């Protein structure tokens, strides 16, 4: 266990929970809704919202994955730490990196009012890949979520 993960647990920014299938499915459904809305915002050239919604799709899918591992986060940074330490083997470096990039782009769009078509497109595409990978990692737990037309 990394020192960063240990610190998050000690500070109670990551807490142990019992894995709950209903909670996992709720997060995956929300991830799917946010992804659909991000795609719609991108088409409508609402780049700030596409960036924010794309990130939140990834956020909810990441929560589902962390819940399956028996943890709950108390911050966006704690969620990133959990992904890096608990799920890097299942997700891979690329997906964790995509999450971190989307988190940064969302913060810039939300707090700095700095966003672009390229950043929005990058975030929405990463969110789609992340959603598919999360559904794959969750396997039977997420069966039926996001099985509509792509």
Domain for residue 18, yes or no? yes
Q: pTM of the prediction?
A: 0.92
Domain for residue 150, yes or no? no
39-65, pLDDT tens digit by residue? 999 999 999 999 999 999 999 999 999
Domain for residue 148, yes or no? no
Q: Please say whether the beta carbons of 31 and 102 come within 8 A.
A: no
What pLDDT is recorded for position 60? Answer: 98
Token pair recorded at residue 114: 């700095």
CATH of the domain at 90: 1.20.120.330
Domain for residue 26, yes or no? yes
What pLDDT is recorded for position 1? Answer: 78
Beta bridge partners of 72: 15
Q: Which range marks the domain in which residue 71 is found?
A: 3-141
Domain for residue 37, yes or no? yes
What pLDDT is recorded for position 146? Answer: 59
Q: Tell me: pLDDT of 9 over 80.
A: yes
Domain for residue 93, yes or no? yes
Give the chain's domain count. 1
Those residues with Cβ within 8 angstroms of residue 55's Cβ, 6 or more apart along the chain or in another chain: 102, 103, 105, 106, 123, 127
88-120, pLDDT tens digit by residue? 999 999 999 999 999 999 999 999 999 999 999
Domain for residue 101, yes or no? yes
d(CA 31, CA 61) in angstroms, rounded, equals: 5
d(CA 14, CA 107) in angstroms, rounded, equals: 21
Domain for residue 147, yes or no? no
């Amino acid at each position: 266990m990394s020192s960063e993960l240990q610190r998050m647990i000690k500070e109670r920014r990551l807490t142990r929970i019992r894995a709950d299938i209903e909670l996992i499915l709720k997060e995956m459904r929300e991830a799917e809704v946010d992804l659909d809305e991000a795609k719609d915002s991108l088409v409508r050239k609402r780049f700030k919202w596409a960036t924010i919604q794309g990130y939140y799709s990834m956020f909810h899918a990441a929560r589902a994955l962390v819940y399956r591992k028996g943890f709950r986060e108390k911050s966006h940074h704690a969620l990133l730490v959990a992904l890096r330490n608990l799920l890097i083997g299942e997700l891979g470096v690329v997906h964790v990196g995509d999450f971190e990039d989307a988190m940064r782009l969302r913060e810039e769009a939300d707090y700095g009012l700095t966003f672009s078509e390229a950043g929005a497109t990058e975030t929405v595409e990463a969110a789609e890949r992340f959603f598919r990978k999360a559904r794959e990692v969750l396997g039977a737990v997420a069966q039926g979520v996001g099985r509509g037309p792509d």
